Amino acid sequence: MAKHTVVLLGAVVALLALLASPALAHNTNSTTNIYNTNININLSGAFKSVFAFGGSGTDNGNARLTGQLQNFVGGWKNIVEGHLAAGLGTGSSTGSDGGGEGASGTVPGSAGGASGLVSASTSEGGISGSASAGGDASGTVSGSASSGGGTPGNGLCNGGLVIDYLCDALGISPVPPYQNHTADFSDGANFALSGSTALPESFFNHKNILSLMLKNVPKRIDQQLQWFNNFIQKAKNGGGSGTKPDMANSLFWIGGVGAQDFARIHNVPNLSSSWLSKNNIEQVANLIQGLVKQGAKYMVIQGLPPVGCLPLHLLLSPITERDQNGCAAKVNKVVMNHNELLQRRLGQLQKKFPQCVFVYADFWKAYMKVLSGYHQFGFAEPFKACCGSRNGVFNFNLRHLCGSPKTFVCQDASKHMVWDGVHFTAAMHHAIAKMFIHGGCTHPSIEQLVEMKMGKIRR
């Protein structure tokens, strides 16, 4: 009898744990897919150079070099180094916020949006804070500052971005940010700019816009095409790195653009997300056509990740509006529609430019594959930010963004999918890059792209 009760209790506890954990609450049988779709391809030498465009997920230094990031961004490196210098566990700028900060989850300038999770952080604040102070010191650097690929702290990440790992796979060193005027651009350049938006700058004079990690009014996507055109012009004139790039042997990568637009406007009344999507996709289409005009042939265009799974949106949206993954349902619906629309637009462009190959990189699918088997990828924390406030279930607080005072860096960033609550970790970027290259998460596959380039198969 008693034994049955224990077993039953155990089952109830297990069930509760299952329900409480957003990642486990969804489909349990898709993890094997990761391996079923393995594509073995050696990309080394497939392209001579890479030109990248996009937003914060692709920017490896342009926003920093042009002074557009808030001063605290990258401050996490001081936190990490401070720990090292001080030896163990001083953590004065970190975990000392045990009490009192718990209720601070309210969004500056947000009236009604942040309901459910703010109360969650109120109750959690004391607990996580008190359990913490000083605990992070030892292993902080390992797996965070040293992850391969990019220069940690130059972008909004602790290390490499998808584009950096892609360059690795192509056998070239990560292409430097265009705004580094002393860099060597012979393998290509990265034009991506954090905070790039589909909206005109004038729009951002609206006072309720969430600025997050950015200091200035964000630049529109077309800025990046201007930079690229200047780059080409300069090369033609024999300036810059000299030779004009070999366009037919270059890979053009367009990372996600404007994901943060959806967050920034969360408090702007009556702004339709479908209007925003259409606007954004037309900007991307303009960028693509501008590049084609310059002779680009092979292009990968990334869809948006399910940003509703990021702490930012989990905090801003009511806890009652969750999807089967435990993510912000409305936001993810918007992203889903956006990605559908983007793919349709790419189809039209493919018809218009049959001499080109446009590949859609399905970030949504790649993310979901990683999420559904996150342990297999070495992650322990699918939703919690590595760097941020200690308050709340997601280590995220809009008043204490990663790098600002009273924030901390987790012990092992490679165990977290989310870096600062708004962007992913280097480890996650690495996993996503692998999903794009080997996991069948692009359409057509990268393998097919390379075969088309070599003339082995026709479109």
Ligand X SMILES: *[C@@H]1O[C@H](CO)[C@@H](O)[C@H](O)[C@H]1NC(C)=O
Q: Considering the complex, what minimum distance in angstroms separates the CB of residue 241 from ligand X? A: 12
Q: Residues touching ligand X: how many (CB under 6 A)?
A: 15
Label residue 456 exposed, middle or buried (CB < 10 Å: 0-12, 13-18, 19+).
exposed
Binding mask 7-36 for ligand X (x = CB under 6 A): --------------------x-xx------
Is the Cβ of residue 143 or residue 176 nearer to ligand X in the bound state? Answer: 176
Is the Cβ of residue 292 or residue 366 nearer to ligand X in the bound state? Answer: 366
What Rg do the C-alpha atoms of the chain give, in angstroms?
Answer: 22
- Which residues make Cβ contacts (< 8 Å) with residue 353, sequence separation at least 6? 292
Q: By beta-carbon distance, which residue lies closest to ligand X?
A: 27
Among 5, 42, 205, 237, binds ligand X (CB under 6 A): 42
Label residue 455 exposed, middle or buried (CB < 10 Å: 0-12, 13-18, 19+).
exposed
The region of 41-49, 101-109, 137-145, 213-221 touching ligand X under the rule CB under 6 A is 41-49
Footprint on residues 135-164 left by ligand X (CB under 6 A): 154
Is the Cβ of residue 154 or residue 325 nearer to ligand X in the bound state? Answer: 154
The region of 174-182, 258-266, 327-335, 379-387 touching ligand X under the rule CB under 6 A is 174-182
How many alpha carbons lie under 13 Å from residue 306 in its C-beta half-sphere? 26
Footprint on residues 57-96 left by ligand X (CB under 6 A): 61, 65
Is the Cβ of residue 54 or residue 61 nearer to ligand X in the bound state? Answer: 61
Q: Which amino acid is at 318?
A: P
Q: Considering the complex, what minimum distance in angstroms separates the CB of residue 177 from ligand X? A: 6
The single residue listed with the structure tokens 């486990």 is 24
Among 44, 130, 324, 348, binds ligand X (CB under 6 A): 44
Q: Considering the complex, what minimum distance in angstroms separates the CB of residue 65 from ligand X? A: 6
Would you say the C-alpha torsion 86, 92, 93, 98 has a positive or negative sign? positive
The region of 40-48, 51-59, 291-299, 442-450 touching ligand X under the rule CB under 6 A is 40-48
Residue 259 CA to residue 274 CA, distance in Å, equals 13
Among 58, 104, 180, 407, binds ligand X (CB under 6 A): 180
Q: Considering the complex, what minimum distance in angstroms separates the CB of residue 202 from ligand X? A: 17
Structure tokens at 343: 């793919």
**How many other CB atoms are found less than 10 A from the CB of residue 115?**
14
Q: Are 231 and 104 in contact, with CB atoms under 8 Å apart?
A: no
- Shortest CA distance to 398 belongs to which of 80, 71, 101? 101
Verify binding: residue 183, ligand X, rule CB under 6 A. yes
Q: Considering the complex, what minimum distance in angstroms separates the CB of residue 438 from ligand X? A: 12
Residue 245 CA to residue 55 CA, distance in Å, equals 23
Q: Are strands 250-254 and 188-190 parallel, antiparallel or unpaired?
A: unpaired
Is the Cβ of residue 75 or residue 125 nearer to ligand X in the bound state? Answer: 75
Footprint on residues 253-282 left by ligand X (CB under 6 A): 269-270
Structure tokens at 132: 């913490």
What are phi and psi for residue 440, nearest 5 degrees? 70, 25
Q: Considering the complex, what minimum distance in angstroms separates the CB of residue 317 from ligand X? A: 19
Is the Cβ of residue 225 or residue 368 nearer to ligand X in the bound state? Answer: 368
- Which residues make Cβ contacts (< 8 Å) with residue 219, sequence separation at least 6? 68, 193, 195, 196, 197, 201
**How many other CB atoms are found less than 10 A from the CB of residue 153?**
20
Is the Cβ of residue 63 or residue 117 nearer to ligand X in the bound state? Answer: 63
Residue ranges that bind ligand X, judged by CB under 6 A: 27, 29-30, 42, 44-45, 61, 65, 154, 176, 180, 182-183, 269-270
